[in-house]
């Protein structure tokens, strides 16, 4: 075996259907991580499968300098469903690439270099995006990184306001921190950042790589925050499992983006998958379902924790982006869930169990998870 970056788990996945995956031994697992929120419609969704198959029968790949019908339709769909005026679309291949582009665009459009990020924030692993990521363990081996980056305390409006000045090119922020522990920002914090960046002329970048596509109960987290940023980055859930990213921009950014390109920007097959995914999420009102299921999940976990005096410090999140902060290590709980209850979930730091299921789950799936957590934490 020659793979060396990922530490593989002893579960070989061979099949997926809806909210479940099956391993090589025939064991079925409830997928409450959706591979870091990458399959919002569940595994093997028919509309996405059919769109990909149809496009493969037409043309597999055409570089973005040549118009292709499905890519054009995708541009239009993303522009229509994005917050008002954030309607210029750059397509790429991942979340880190979307953030990398946003940082470049901000510097080009403003003529400034200073980037403000947040403590405990995560924005990717390429050199520019990595420079705006908080944890040293991700950064140290690759330093020196991109310079002129300043970190402020997440959700601290006063500290953020003091950091933003006339030399600031951009503020990049997650409406809900994912890797940092499932930490939702307060609306008034995000709104204050919008006011301060607008006043200084800096670009406001909402990193919605994880929060977008209905994950937090609205199509974009910026909607419940009642904020229109200058750029939104998206990826994970965008293609229901296919590799894709997008940077959505306002006109003033798109008109002054500098010089940028990517060979595989908006490939036809990926564009077909994204168009089918976004259309289904919107047409079937998946974000509202995610909001309802997330509220139910948090309520039920809190009730179980109180009734059984479980080792739970906090349950928090938005929509179906839920974190359960436990008193014991999260990895121990995750192993128990996987091996003894056939539930796959994720960590968000050392003490938070991260639940990012397909947005199509129902109450029976939630009840299964609550029962398993109760046993694992009792």
Neighbouring CB atoms inside 10 A of 352's CB total 24
- Measured between alpha carbons, how far is 128 from 195 in angstroms, rounded to an integer? 25
Query: Does the pLDDT of residue 2 top 80, yes or no?
Result: no
Determine the pLDDT at residue 135. 97
Report pLDDT digits (tens) over 145-183: 999 999 999 999 999 999 999 999 999 999 999 999 999
- Measured between alpha carbons, how far is 173 from 119 in angstroms, rounded to an integer? 10
- Measured between alpha carbons, how far is 124 from 99 in angstroms, rounded to an integer? 7
- Measured between alpha carbons, how far is 291 from 299 in angstroms, rounded to an integer? 12
- The residue written with tokens 């859930």 in the block is 237
Is 350 in contact with 330 (CB distance < 8 Å)? yes
Nearest Cα neighbor of 206 from 118, 109, 76, 110 is 118
Report pLDDT digits (tens) over 198-224: 999 999 999 999 999 999 999 999 999
Report pLDDT digits (tens) over 323-376: 999 998 999 999 999 999 999 999 999 999 999 999 999 999 999 999 999 999
Angle at 344 between CA 356 and CA 310, to 5 degrees: 85
Report pLDDT digits (tens) over 70-81: 999 999 999 999
Determine the pLDDT at residue 7. 83
Domains of the chain in start order, with CATH, are: 13-45+285-377 (3.90.1150.10), 46-283 (3.40.640.10)
- The pTM (predicted TM-score) of the whole model is 0.97
- Measured between alpha carbons, how far is 244 from 237 in angstroms, rounded to an integer? 9
Cβ-proximal residues to 254 (8 Å cutoff; 6+ apart), any chain: 88, 105
């Amino acid at each position: 075996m020659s793979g060396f970056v990922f530490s593989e788990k002893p579960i070989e996945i061979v099949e997926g259907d809806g909210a479940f995956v099956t391993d090589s031994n025939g064991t079925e697992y409830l997928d409450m991580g959706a591979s870091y929120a990458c399959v919002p419609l569940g595994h093997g969704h028919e509309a996405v499968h059919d769109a990909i198959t149809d496009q493969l029968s037409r043309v597999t790949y055409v570089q973005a300098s040549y118009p292709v019908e499905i890519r054009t339709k995708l541009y239009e769909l993303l522009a229509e469903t994005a917050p008002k005026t954030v309607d210029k679309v750059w397509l790429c291949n991942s979340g880190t690439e979307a953030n990398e582009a946003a940082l470049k665009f901000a510097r080009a459009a403003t003529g400034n270099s200073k980037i403000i990020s947040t403590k405990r924030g995560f924005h990717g692993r390429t050199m520019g995006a990595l420079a705006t990521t908080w944890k040293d363990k991700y950064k140290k081996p690759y330093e020196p990184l991109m310079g002129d980056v300043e970190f402020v305390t997440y959700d601290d409006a006063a500290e953020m306001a003091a950091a933003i000045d006339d030399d600031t090119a951009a503020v990049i922020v997650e409406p809900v921190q994912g890797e940092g522990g499932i930490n939702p920002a307060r609306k008034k914090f995000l709104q204050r950042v919008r006011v301060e960046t607008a006043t200084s002329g800096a670009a406001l970048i909402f990193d919605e790589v994880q929060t977008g596509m209905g994950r937090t109960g609205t199509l974009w987290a910026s909607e419940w925050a009642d904020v229109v940023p200058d750029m939104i980055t998206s990826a994970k859930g965008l293609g229901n499992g296919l590799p894709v990213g997008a940077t959505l921009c306002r006109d003033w950014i798109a008109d002054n983006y500098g010089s940028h390109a990517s060979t595989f920007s908006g490939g036809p097959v990926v564009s077909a998958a994204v168009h089918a995914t976004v259309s289904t999420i919107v047409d079937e009102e998946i974000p509202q379902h995610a909001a309802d299921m997330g509220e139910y999940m948090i309520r039920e976990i809190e009730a179980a924790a109180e009734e059984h005096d479980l080792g739970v410090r906090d349950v928090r999140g938005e929509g179906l982006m839920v974190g359960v902060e436990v008193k014991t290590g999260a990895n121990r709980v995750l192993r128990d869930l996987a091996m003894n209850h056939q539930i796959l979930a994720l960590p968000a730091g050392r003490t938070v169990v991260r639940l990012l299921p397909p947005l199509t789950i129902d109450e029976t799936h939630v009840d299964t998870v609550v029962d398993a957590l109760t046993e694992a934490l009792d």
